[in-house]
Structure 1
Amino acid sequence: MSGGPPPPGMLDPSMLPPDEDRGPLLLAQFWTYVAIGSIMTALRFFARFKIRAVGLDDWMMLATVILFTISTGFVTYMASIGGSRHVFYLTPEQTLLAVKYSWISQPWAIFTFATGKASVAFLTLRIIGRNTVWRKYMLWFIIATITIVNGLGCIITFVQCDPPRALWTPELALTASCWDPSVQLHYNYFLSAYNILVDIVLAVLPATFIANLSLPLKKKVALCILLSLGFIAAICSGLKIRYLDKLGARTDFTWNAYDIQVWTGAECFIMMVCGNVPPLQLLWDRYIAHTLDANWTRVSTRKYASNGSGSGGSGYSYEKSSKNSRVRLGSSNSSTANNKSPTHTQIVTAGEYDGSLPRHPGNIYATTNVEVRADARHFV
């Protein structure tokens, strides 16, 4: 097969590496990511529409899936013409098109990091509400800077050469004005490092307010894990950094770009999955755990134990606490015509009750199941 000239030092055909095409593997990876990300996002919107609570975090995640799908489309065309083979096995026309669409696919993938992380930030904002001012401003700062930093990464991709077509047209590269490849390389190091920092901050921040919630420790830990999945994206981004130096090597570009494409796709996928998991808890609660009823209202049943003395009945007073959104059971005193002594009611939760309530002659012991309902829109 005719192709471009071999790289320096490899003029002998016997020294050339095997003609391998890694395109099919790359496409299987990317389209699997698109399918899973699309399904999860569709389920997310289904749950949010059910409770009439679609927000900016949902639209940002939808934008992330769309951007990644567009990038996958360009990668698909690139791979179909041999864009994942060694460049010196390609014809000049194949080389031009493969390199061209490899460059064009990059900005779409880069900006998925901005929209994906913005989605997580908007989700955190809607959870904490007006919890504290500093958290709110920190999240808005993250949304603004992650958009700017990744946006500049998209711009630098094409402004590094004048005209931009010189990036994939060898004839123009001889006369075009281009920056040193190290400029883009160094900015990509900064871009990756900042994305990792944002992932870590977004993973840690929820724990700072979950710790103050009036919840059992087990529930706090579960929420922290659920909202801290961004650590996985940070790890993936860290692994990608070691391949960034290949962007500066323009020789055998189609082969060298493969590792970057693989890890970029994996990072986008993990970001889509981790960003979609918390909202999908609604579907889990509705159809698996059955803690949401048919009206998507959260239902929980708690068991309470009580004892009262005398023949008078014990009364319960129910008070909705606006501070912590729990139902608080109080006690009431009552008396009968024949017995003037008050009836005392002691309330404990099922987890606290071990059958050791004080027992007195003539007491009546009862266990009451209390059903608590709350609008699912107040939950993730």
Structure 2
Amino acid sequence: MHTQESLIHLTYQASAAIWVFVAITTVIFFMRTYSRLFLSKDPINWDDFIISLSWPLMVVLAVSYQIALSTARKSTASELPGTYPTPVFWALFTDAWAFLSICIPKLGVALLLSRMLRPKRWLKITMITYCIVLVILAIVGFIITFTQCDPVAGQWNPWKYPEVKCWSRNIQLEYAITVSAMSALTDLAFSIYPGVVIWNLNMATWKRVNAVALMSLGFISFAFAIRKLYSNTTLLGNPDIITLLFDAIQIGIWNNIENAFVLSAACLPAVPPVFRVFRNAVKTHVSSLSGSHKEETETAGTELTSNSRRITLKEEFKVSSERQVSRERRPAEFV
């Protein structure tokens, strides 16, 4: 059984973990946005809109999860009715919202791969249709989370609503596990398919290796999805309110990290032009500094030469003057 101390310790671990990934993904997202708006010659497409929508969805997930963590730290086992309903609500909201924030970017990836790799018509339709179905299932999953109890608030505050009537919790969990498994398979497929296509292209080996490594981030997303899938199974049965909150927060960690990797994988293919622009700007700056230093050195050398010449002329003039004075003071010679 989990204790209040272990719960608080978990909240600090979770905060430290998720915001690092959110920050990195945010930087990658804005680099992609800049690249698509200012560096790409391709017109804006549907995948751009879907991926752009995915970033605020990720932010909502992270913020709601942080609220769950912050309120969980203030909860006490001695005052369950007054302190536990709020963090339980936000933990459940976070896990439900993850349906949307994780599945919607995958539709953007499907559209992106269809545009970049130009697959056969049947494969293109299969990828996009599968992801649309996944998004629909995610929306249904979000709705189920908040309709399985009557009254709805009785799900996270059974003390205030002791007459609450709910479906078996396993119904919603089994649904979540099914959708999570489908989502994990999507991560795996979107890692293997582009890797195979890119590896068979007629291009330099190092370019193929870089491209395949870039697209293989989906394997990492797949690993986190499997870990989250296992965590979902811990909620099966009828756990007490403290265990429910602890396990929901633990699932939230994997939801946030998977979401960050999915969005990063969707954004990274458009990021390399930004690095090229930055590299060229650095080279130009270094060249200008080198040119300025060379010019200053040449100017200093010219001034030094001019000064040396002036000093030499002065010395010659001084010697000539001394000789003239010496002649004038010499005694007259008589013949």
How far apart are 1:120 and its partner, in Å?
1.4
**Contact 2:150/2:165, CA 8 A, preserved across alignment:** yes
CA distance in 2, matches of 1:247, 1:238: 15
Shift of 1:52: 4.9
From 158, 166, 175, the counterpart of 1:187? 175
CA contact (8 A) 2:81 2:157 kept: no
Q: Describe the superposition over 1:118-167 as per-residue Cα deviations: whole angstroms up to 9, x where unpaired.
A: 121121011023x4212211221222122122222212211211222111
1:173 CA displacement: 5.1
Aligned partners of 1:33 and 1:269 also within 8 Å:
yes
- Asked if residue 60 in structure 1 is aligned to residue 47 in structure 2, the reply is no
Task: Please name the residue that 1:315 is paired with.
Answer: none
Q: What's 1:107 paired with?
A: 96
- 1:308 maps to which residue? none
1:157 to 145, 149, 152: 145
Counterparts of 1:232 and 1:132, CA distance in 2:
27
- Is the Cα–Cα contact under 8 Å of residues 226 and 277 in structure 1 kept in the other structure? yes
1:21 corresponding residue in structure 2: 8
> Deviation string for 1:259-318 (max 9, x for gaps)?
11111111112212222221112223333389xx9xxxxxxxxxxxxxxxxxxxxxxxxx
Stretches of 4+ aligned residues off by more than 6 angstroms? none
- Distance between the aligned counterparts of 1:175 and 1:57, measured in 2? 47
Moved more, 248-257 or 191-200: 248-257
User: Quick one: which of 45, 59, 70 aligns to 2:60?
Assistant: 70
SS at match of 2:107: helix
Q: What displacement does 1:29 show?
A: 2.6
Partner of 1:254: 245
For 1:107 and 1:259, locate their aligned partners in 2 and report how far apart those are by CA, in whole Å. Answer: 14
State the Cα distance separating 1:89 from its structure 2 match.
Answer: 4.9
Aligned to 1:364: none
Q: In structure 1, what is the Cα distance between the partners aligned to 2:78 and 2:246? A: 11
CA contact (8 A) 1:68 1:108 kept: no
In terms of fraction of residues, the more helix-rich structure is: 2
TM-score calculated relative to the size of structure 1: 0.65
Instruction: Tell me which of the two structures has the higher relative contact order, counting C-alpha pairs closer than 8 angstroms and 6 or more residues apart.
Output: 2
1:230 aligns with 2:221: no
In structure 2, stretches of 5+ residues that fail to align are: 285-335
Q: Look up the SS of the partner of 2:51 in the other structure.
A: helix
Q: 1:37 to 1:19 in 2, by over 3 A?
A: closer
Measured against aligned partners, the alpha-carbon deviations of 1:24-79 in whole angstroms (never above 9, x if no partner) come to 33223333333222221111110111125433323322222211211222222222
State yes or no: 1:116 paired with 2:115: no
Aligned length: 276
Q: 1:133 to 1:85 in 2, by over 3 A?
A: same
CA distance in 2, matches of 1:90, 1:112: 33
2:27 to 39, 63, 87: 39
- C-alpha contact (below 8 Å) 2:95/2:255 kept by paired residues: no
The amino acid that maps onto 2:52 is L
Give the Cα–Cα distance (whole angstroms) in 2 for the partners of residues 30 and 132 of structure 1: 38
**Matched letter for residue 53 of structure 2:** A
Match of 1:242 among 230, 235, 254: 230
Q: Which runs of 5+ in 1 are unaligned?
A: 1-6, 11-15, 294-380
1:217 CA displacement: 4.0
Contact map agreement 1:84 1:258 (CA 8 A) in 2: no
Whether the 8 Å CA contact 1:57–1:120 is kept in 2: the answer is yes
Q: Deviations over 1:12-31 (max 9, x none)?
A: xxxx6646513333223333
Q: CA deviation at 1:216?
A: 3.4
Q: Does 1:198 align with 2:189?
A: no
Quick check: 1:86–1:254 contact (8 Å CA) kept in 2? no
The structure where strand makes up a greater share of residues is 1
Mapped partners of 2:73, 2:251: distance in 1 = 12
CA distance in 1 between counterparts of 2:13 and 2:51 reads 26
Deviation at 1:90, TM superposition (A): 4.7
